Amino acid sequence: MCVCFLPPRPAAQCRPLPDDWAPGVPASVRNALWSDPTDSDADMARGVHASPRGEGVVSFGPDRTERFCAREGVQLIVRSHQFVREGVKFMHGGRLATLFSARNYFDREHNDSALLLVAPDEQGSLRVRSKRLQQRM
């Protein structure tokens, strides 16, 4: 990931971000990397909320996901970096998928891993199916 801060730097000076919590790093960078969805589609989970990941990082509700999908013309957002015991979790009315591809990530807890199969259907729409790889004991 290449991140440039204001004022803009020439492309040759743009570097990978060494520490996303360093002073001067915009909150928008931390939120792009670390914000998580609320775990519920309930009305009480709508909007933007403080996140347990750290100061300045927010969680987002299904209304934000729906608005982003409409604005960007996408049907599904696929994200990772968050532990999911089943390997994949669809949320926010099916518009958001959290994918976790590391099986048995923690020594003390066993979990499945998953991947997504994406293919066009007869009408040209993309169809997404998950494939889980069961945990190993």
The C-alpha atoms of residue 35 and residue 81 are separated, in whole angstroms, by 10
- What is the predicted pLDDT for the residue at 123? 92
Closest CA to 58 of 32, 39, 77, 79: 32
Residue 58 and residue 51 in contact, taking contact as beta carbons nearer than 8 Å: yes
Each residue's pLDDT tens digit, 109-129? 788 899 999 998 999 888 899
Of 75, 77, 45, the residue nearest 60 (C-alpha): 45
**Cα atoms found within 13 Å of the Cα of residue 43, Cβ hemisphere only:** 0
pTM of the model: 0.72
| Maximum average pLDDT range among 26-30, 79-83, 96-100, 103-107 | 96-100
pLDDT in tens, 54-102: 677 788 889 999 999 999 999 899 998 788 889 999 999 999 999 998 8
What is residue 104's predicted lDDT score, i.e. its pLDDT? 85
Which is more confident, 48 or 116? 116
Helix (H, G, I), strand (E, B) or coil at 49: strand
Give the pLDDT confidence score for residue 67 in this predicted structure: 93
Query: What is the rounded average pLDDT for all residues in the chain?
Result: 78
Residue 45 reports pLDDT greater than 60: no
Q: Are 127 and 136 in contact (CB under 8 A)?
A: no
pLDDT score, position 17: 66
